[in-house]
Amino acid sequence: MQAVITAEFLDNIPAAIRQRLNLKAGAIMDFDEQTPYLKAVPAAPTSATELAEFQSWLASSVGLAKGRLTTDERMKETRGED
């Protein structure tokens, strides 16, 4: 099973893991459903067309969150902090 990492979810992955695996928002992960624990690895694009489509989508998404909450504000809101 595959899933795309969103910017919000990326904040929940420890920095050391993000750096080692070079994870960024929009990365596609393969999840191994056969293990009794969570196992995910970065997925390789299956074709040049798929990669081009993803890059086009990613480019069109840049700047969508401008003017919204910062990461710190979102974390405070999520935690129920004032």
Domain count, the chain: 1
Residue with tokens 């992955």: 13
Is 66 a residue whose pLDDT tops 80? no
Helices (H), the chain: 7-10, 15-21, 48-61, 71-79
* CATH code of the domain containing 64: 2.10.260
Q: What is the pTM for the complete model shown? A: 0.45
Residue numbers of the domain that contains 46: 2-79
22-55 pLDDT, tens digit per residue, is: 888 888 888 899 999 988 888 876 677 877 887 7
Mean pLDDT of the chain: 82
Do the Cβ atoms of 16 and 35 come closer than 8 Å? no
pLDDT at 45: 67
